[in-house]
Amino acid sequence: MTRTGDEQLVRWARLREQMRSAKFLRWAGGLIGIGLLLQVATLFWSHPLAFVLFLVIGAGPVGLGILLFLAFLVQVPVEPVTSTDSSD
Amino acid sequence: MTLSTSALAALTVLTVALIVLVLVRPAIMRHRVGRLLIFVVFLPLPLLVTTAGTQEHIEHSKSTQFCLSCHVMEDYGESLHINDSDYLPAVHFQNRLVSQDKACFDCHTTYTMYGDMRAKLRGLRHVWVYYAGEIPEQIELYEPYENRECLHCHTGGRRFEQGEDHVDFRQELESGETSCLECHEWVHAVDELADLDRWEP
């Protein structure tokens, strides 16, 4: 196998890893977003059930989303920063 | 709706908007600032908003309106309007000896979610029973009403400190040996509401 072929394989592997990470991020974002919207909906209702809903259908997805995000942080490949900031 | 509720709602919506921005523009991950933004909107902000939301709900739950939102409590709310100063909850509520907005919480400070873990679980059970169970006809406190609930306001007050009976029974009242309700026995009286006059503010 040529050197170009090796590089291509590495690039594909990295791309696949990035896509997998992006999927984690999408799921995490979706869960956190939905959870937060449900939380905000319960804030305007002064009723015992509102607090239960806040905790179960609001905080639950947010907690799950945060766990997924932490998993994403562990998996995400380290890439060089492409910032144009001179301090980098 | 209070200012804090509105501010919290605004912060929550902002967090969701930033999450959406991250999801539709994943390319920002390539930049340091973008990564920092992702970290902030996926971890500290949701945690902050959820913690503040929990605090907000706890504050809501201290309100009289919150307690009376369950129809089984309606009669207890109605008893605050009895037009007779011998009835303790009524005289406290009508003369603003307790906050009218937090009338229940001011006198029942260890009830359900304000109490220990067992009391909190009871609160959850109340919600379950309200929707899925059978509500008992006679609602009673789990434990006898403690003098502490009276003394945390009345201790140091002139009427309490100089009242003859209070002086004589001071030790017993503080130790809980004698209940305040032995003399001040007329409380919510929900069974007598139909026969009592109502105070209209």
Which residues 54-83 in chain A show a CB within 8 A of chain B?
54-55, 58-59, 62, 65-66, 69-70, 79, 81-83
How does pLDDT run across A4-30, given as a tens digit for each residue? 778 877 777 777 777 777 788 899 999
Interface contact A58-B53, CB threshold 8 A: yes
Q: Which residues from chain A sit within 8 angstroms of residue B12, using beta carbons?
A: 36-37, 39-40
The domain spans of chain B are: 1-60, 67-201
pLDDT at A47 over 80: yes
The CATH fold assigned to B67-201 is: Multiheme cytochrome fold (1.10.3820)
Ramachandran quadrant class, B140 (left: phi over 0; alpha: psi -120 to 50; beta: rest)? beta
Inform me whether the C-beta atom of residue A49 falls under 8 Å from chain B C-beta atoms. yes
Predicted pLDDT at B65: 93
Which residues 9-38 in chain B show a CB within 8 A of chain A?
9, 12-13, 15-16, 19-20, 22-23, 26, 30-33, 38
Predicted pLDDT at A79: 58
Predicted pLDDT at A86: 46
pLDDT tier for residue A87 given thresholds of 50, 70 and 90: very low
How does pLDDT run across B123-164, given as a tens digit for each residue? 888 899 999 999 998 888 888 999 999 999 999 999 999 998
CA dihedral sign, ordered A44, A47, A48, A53: negative
The domain spans of chain A are: 22-75
Inform me whether the C-beta atom of residue A23 falls under 8 Å from chain B C-beta atoms. no
Predicted pLDDT at B68: 93
Q: How far apart are CA B88 and CA B180, in angstroms?
A: 11
Predicted pLDDT at A78: 61
